[in-house]
Amino acid sequence: MRKILLIVPAVIGLSACGNNSRNTPTDTPQSDCVEVLCFHSAKRCATCIAIENGVKEVIETDFAAQVAAGEVRFRMIDIAKSENEALADKYEVAWSSLLLNRWRDGRETVTDLTKFAFANVRTNPKKFKAELRAEIQRQIDE
């Protein structure tokens, strides 16, 4: 019984900040674009919040014109909400994840940046922002 009481909090803690996402293209945006999708659950750790803040900073600072033109889209998705269940299922997201989706001619290419984000956003935020910026730009240019 004591083992169960110790395991349950550990499982909950690990599921709050992990990754389990894959590519599964379905819905197509009306135009070619790069989507930046930040999935999170209702309870968020400091790293999850730092990812959101870092992504917002890069999008708002470096890609404002592309956002205005519809070339870049940014969405925060709370997977705990029932209206986001289909999207979480589409990408097989069970907890916090950072995905970049490049849409071209109705085809989707998904780049999973979750492990990179969790490894760098708090320990090396400059690297996180620089590489995120470079990856978004690379996908715009392709």
| Domain residue extents for the chain | 2-141
What sign does the CA torsion over 120, 122, 124, 127 have? positive
Distance CA 22, CA 69 (A): 28
pLDDT > 90 fraction of the chain, expressed in percent and rounded: 59
Backbone angles phi, psi at 53, to 5 degrees: -65, -40
Q: What is the pLDDT of residue 8?
A: 40
pTM of the model: 0.75
Q: In the numeric block, which tokens belong to residue 124?
A: 């090396």
Question: How do residues 2-51 score in pLDDT, each as one tens digit?
Answer: 544 444 444 334 333 433 333 333 455 668 999 999 999 888 889 999 99
CATH class of 2-141: alpha beta
Q: What is the pLDDT of residue 95?
A: 80
What sign does the CA torsion over 41, 77, 62, 128 have? positive
State mean pLDDT over 62-70: 96
Q: 34 exposed, middle or buried (CB, 10 Å; 0-12, 13-18, 19+)?
A: buried
